[in-house]
Structures are given as structure tokens and as C-alpha cells.
Structure 1
Amino acid sequence: MDKFLAQLVEVQPAPEPWVIVVSAVFAFAVVSYTTSWHLTRGLVTIAHEGGHALMALLTRRKLEGIRLHSDTSGVTLTRGKPTGPGMVLTALAGYVAPSLLGLAGAWLTDQGRITMLIWVVLLFLVCMLLLIRNLYGALILLATGGALFALSMYAPDDIQQVVAYVAVWFLLFGGVRPIMELQRKRRRRQAGNSDADQLARLTVLPGGFYVFFFLLVAGASMFGGAYLMSPF
């Protein structure tokens, strides 16, 4: 346990600038290219639904479970008052969660806390696994968590560092694209039950305002994370 705690708080030296730049370019390509995005979008969905679940717990709504689907969609089931601040905050948390998680990850990588970042994400996945309510969701969480555990246990420090930077950049870039996709669906009237439209029904503000809010948080997180991780 002492050895594990020492590794958990260990500070790794900053990588070469080219590592950070290449990691950012690679993550941006994954998010931008349609095929790779569809293959990895489920990771953003995990963060999205985790955001809903965490906010539901913080606002004392009863959390009944989480479902992750093979089409990269997901749903978080809560029970409680159908209106009010708790419901509004729970609905707000989903689209901003990946970006805020990426910003927190950028801060940890900037501090050299790569091992701590990996284990914080592992703890997040374990908590979600306890709440998952479908087989596909459980398999995705087990696969993701298993890969992270193997990375932490067996990969050299420099490989852990590269993977951490790619993952953080992916969350920062990947937090923006679903919001843009949401707005396109709303224009075509294909997202009548989206988080933004639910928020519009819960409040006096239109759904477009919440799409703008999501995009503002995601954009600010992306630029903030880039500033923290910038090698220049």
C-alpha cells in the first residue's frame, strides 16, 4: 500500500514538446474523422452519462441506473421531482461533463500527476459500473477500465504519459463535437427530447440558449486545457 500511494502521488517530468503537439494532432484527427469518431464516441458518452449521474447524486435525486447503447447513445435514469433546480442541474451536467473532465485531466497532466489521473478515471469507471443496468454498458466499462488498469500496472511511465495526453486532448476536442451534432439534429427537428429541449421545457429559456451554454463551456474548457498543457 505504501508503494502504491507513493506511485499515486509521484510527479512525472514534463514530456518533450513534440509529444504534446503530436498527441493533440492525433486526438483531433480521431475526433474529426467520421469512422474513428464513431468508434470512440462511446468514451465521450461514458463521461456524459457520468456527469448526469454525479449531478443527480449531488442534488439528492434518486439514481436508478445508467444504460450505454451500442449506437454510442446513453441514458441516465433518475427519480424525484420532475421540475426544480435538481432536475435542471442534472440535465445541464451531461454535455459539459466530458469537457470539464478533460480540463481537470489537463490540470493533472500539467502537474505531472499521470498515475493519479489514471486512477481517478478508474475510480470513476468503477462507480459507473455499479450503476450500469445493461450488458453492453457493463462490457464497455469493463473493457475501458481493464485497459486503463493494464496501462497503469504494466506500461512504462513514458507510454502512460503519452496515452494520458491523448486521452485528455480527446475529451477536450470530443466534448465539442456532440454539441455541434446536437444543434444539427435540432435544426432538422430530430432531437425533440434532447437535454437542451428538456431544459427548455423546465425553464423559460429556449433550447438554443442551452446549446450555446454547452458550447461556451466546452470551448472555454478546450482553450483552458490547451493553455495548461501548452509546451510553449
Structure 2
Amino acid sequence: MPLIDGLTTLWDTLTSAQPDPPPLLVVLTAVVAVAVVAARVPWRIARNAVTIAHEGGHALMALLTRRKLHGIRLHSDTSGLTLSAGRPDGPGMILTLLAGYVAPSLLGLGGAWLLAGNRITLLLWLAVALLLAMLVLIRNLFGALSLLVTGGIVLAVSWYTPPEVQAAFAWTSIWFLLVGGVRPVFELRRQRSRGRMPQSDADQLARLTPFPPLFWVGFFLLVALGALAAGTLLLTGPLLADVGLTG
């Protein structure tokens, strides 16, 4: 049947593995990602992607813990807000608060695992699906535009560009999530030290648990650095194999 044949072809396309990337691509995309995170102006623009992942983490955990999710707002200053209703304390609220700062790094680690298997097409299509799902939850114009632009870029790359461009885009994006997941934690620490974020996730967690805010900042950092280390091992597999350091 044509429908079944089409679905089979689509599934084969999504799950098929692309060739190993050139080692130079792995290195260059890592350098580009680090440069974007380190530079002030590029980071200011690209940080919206980290905010999308951050608020998406809050929203997903709220749904998983059966809290009532009211919506997500993304702002032009790269801040965001996820509103949910339910018990003001307890495991559901704690896990929802906990999910934000660790989401970009864990998302990057998941992406690194897919790229380690050269599942570039699957990675890009999953990204589009997640962005579309999140779009339903957006409650402000800037947030909707941010998701539409981001999703449109990913869709255009996956649909219209050659495999080499898709690979470069995918590796750069995942390196960015892994490296970019670390910087917001340091920004949180700096802002808290200046008394500018009294309602941060870390402060709210401190009010719900026996642990102080700095404990939670340290926990966020530990997860981000751990994901970066694990993701680096996954993403540099082809490079290490090329120089004879693995397998």
C-alpha cells in the first residue's frame, strides 16, 4: 500500500545512519560553539536557544509530575517564565524547579548520543517536533516568534541542505547546548551574589528543601559539567578513532 510504503520510507530515512563526520568538522564546530558562548553579542542572541531548552525542561517536568501547566513565556532579554499550578511544595514542585538549569545540558547530552550513532536526520526532526510541541504552550508573541524562527531554521536545514551542511549544523548545535548549558549557571551565581535574583530557581529550591541556594547552584554546575564531559566523549569518538586512541 502506498501509505505503508511511504511510512516505511520515512522511518528508514529517520533511523538511517549517516557517514562519520570528518574529524576537522568535529573540531571546528566545537570551536564555533565555544566562541559563540564566550563572546558577548553572539551569546546574547544565541542564548534564546538555551532559554527555550530551560523553560521546556520546566514545562516537561511539570507535565510529568501532573502539575497543571498554564503556559510558557519567552522574553526578548533572554529570560523566560513557565507557569504551572498544583501543590506549592512537595516532589512535583521541586522536580519542576530543578529541571530548568539542567535541561539544556541534558538535551545536549541526548543529542550527542544520537550524533555518536550518526543519526543526524532523526536529531533534526526530533528538534522540530519538540519545538512544535512547545509552541502550543507559548503565551506571548515574542515567544511564539522565537520558536517559529528556531523551528523554521532547523526544518529548512533538515529539508533543503546537503548532508554536509546538516552535519555541521547538528554538531554545532549540540556543542552549543553542552557548552551553553554551563554559562547560565555562572551567570546565576554572579547575579545572586549581587542580590539581583532573589526568586531564582536555586532560591526557590532552598525554600522547599533543607539545602541552601549555593548547594543547588553547585548541583546545576555539576550536572552541566558532567553532561559536557560525557557529551565531549561521545562527540569526539570519530576524532579519537581517526588518530588511533579508541577501539
TM-score tier by shorter-chain length is over 0.9
Matched, 1:5 2:11: yes
Deviation sequence 1:48-88 (CA, Å, 0-9, x none): 00000000000000000000000000000000000000000
Aligned to 2:208, which of 199, 202, 214? 202
For 1:91, the equivalent position in structure 2 comes to 97
For 2:3, the equivalent position in structure 1 comes to none
Deviation sequence 1:16-65 (CA, Å, 0-9, x none): 11100000001000000011100110000000000000000000000000
Q: How far apart in 1 are the matches of 2:168 and 2:81?
A: 31
- Structure 2 counterpart of 1:67, one-letter code: R
Q: Could you say what the CA RMSD is over the residues aligned between the two structures, in angstroms?
A: 0.6
Q: How far apart in 1 are the matches of 2:43 and 2:153?
A: 19
For 2:72, the equivalent position in structure 1 comes to 66
Deviation sequence 1:165-189 (CA, Å, 0-9, x none): 0000000000000000000011111
Trace 1:140-159 onto structure 2 (pairs within 5 A): 140-159=146-165
- Structure 2 counterpart of 1:117, one-letter code: L
Aligned to 1:26, which of 32, 47, 67? 32
- Structure 2 counterpart of 1:108, one-letter code: L
Identity percentage of aligned residues: 57
Aligned to 2:20, which of 14, 30, 51? 14
Gaps of 5+ in 1: none
Q: Secondary structure at the match of 2:149?
A: helix
- Structure 2 counterpart of 1:11, one-letter code: A
Q: How many residue pairs were aligned?
A: 232
Q: How far apart in 2 are the matches of 1:15 and 1:145?
A: 24
For 2:117, the equivalent position in structure 1 comes to 111
Q: Secondary structure at the match of 2:136?
A: helix
TM-score w.r.t. the length of structure 1 is 0.99
Q: How far apart in 2 are the matches of 1:139 and 1:82?
A: 31
Please state how far the C-alpha of 1:4 moved relative to its aligned partner: 2.0
Gaps of 5+ in 2: 1-6, 241-247
Please state how far the C-alpha of 1:3 moved relative to its aligned partner: 2.7
Aligned to 1:226, which of 202, 224, 232? 232
Q: How far apart in 2 are the matches of 1:10 and 1:144?
A: 24
For 2:85, the equivalent position in structure 1 comes to 79
Matched, 1:54 2:60: yes
Runs ≥4 residues deviating over 6 A: none
Q: How far apart in 1 are the matches of 2:200 and 2:84?
A: 16
Q: How far apart in 2 are the matches of 1:147 and 1:190?
A: 34
- Structure 1 counterpart of 2:111, one-letter code: G
Q: Secondary structure at the match of 1:131?
A: coil
